[in-house]
Amino acid sequence: MNGRLQDKVALVTGAGRGFGSAIAIALADQGAHVAVHYHSSSAGAEQVAKTIRDKGRDAITVQGDISVWNDVKRLTAEVFQHFGHVDVLINNVGDMAPDQMSWRDISEERIDRILDVDIKGTMFMIHEVGIRMVERGSGAIVNIGSRVVAAGSPRSPQYAAAKYGVIGLTKSYARALAPAVRVNTLGPGFIETETTLNRADWKSGRREEILSQTPLQRLPQPEDLVGAVIFLASDDARHITGGFLICDGGLSMIGA
């Protein structure tokens, strides 16, 4: 059976581990060929690419720091040289300062890193891929945001600010790239990735606190949320652009 993204080409940032790797594999399960981006997780990216190839799909790995525009230009050129085009861009990379346990622990370096990766990096990726999508006449971009925009973050205010910035980018490019390209944001809550599980607060009661406040009474694995990404990337969401889809088990429950 053909998948919802049969023979489409997708580029996923931060796909060497965690949520990004689950997204890349899910895209392949839906029939897509995938460019697996990584910054430092070389071995993980290669394993993800191998898994995709084993499914009969084409896959390459591309390395780069998305907060550096020249890196983004280079890796984008590599992807387009190999595949010829990109139908789907998933901007998964994001830094949430997992080692920062309080707003009191702020530093200029931590602020700059999150804003550089989450805002500048996302913008660079949308710009370089989006302009080519417009020239081709079609495409879908899904930015991975966070439910933190609904609740704020007393732990890491700069992270909440950065994710608000992603929504600003989403709305702006949804207008700028229309009607050829759709741009949306997925807002997941807490996902039990390796990074989350290793956080100090997660090991000392934060997990239980979040779980007690979540109506669905469970915390998702990365694989539990990939369906929402597939939806936004596919023609099933063909009349949705500039949107924000929260996906946190009911934890935030925002109004219409």
Strand segments, DSSP code E, in the chain are 9-12, 33-38, 59-63, 88-91, 139-144, 181-188, 244-247
Q: Which residues contact 125 (CB under 8 A, 6 or more apart)?
A: 13, 66, 72, 76, 89, 91
Question: Hey, what amino acid is at 175?
Answer: R
Residue 7 is encoded by which pair of tokens?
């023979």
Peptide bond into 215 cis (omega under 30): no
Name, in order, each residue with C-beta under 8 angstroms of 46's C-beta and a sequence gap of 6 or more: 61
Active-site residue flag, 159: yes
Question: Which helix (DSSP H) or strand (DSSP E) does residue 20 occupy?
Answer: helix 18-29
Cα(13)–Cα(116) distance, integer angstroms: 15
Alpha-carbon distances of 31 from 25, 64, 184, rounded to whole Å: 10, 26, 21
Catalytic residues: 159
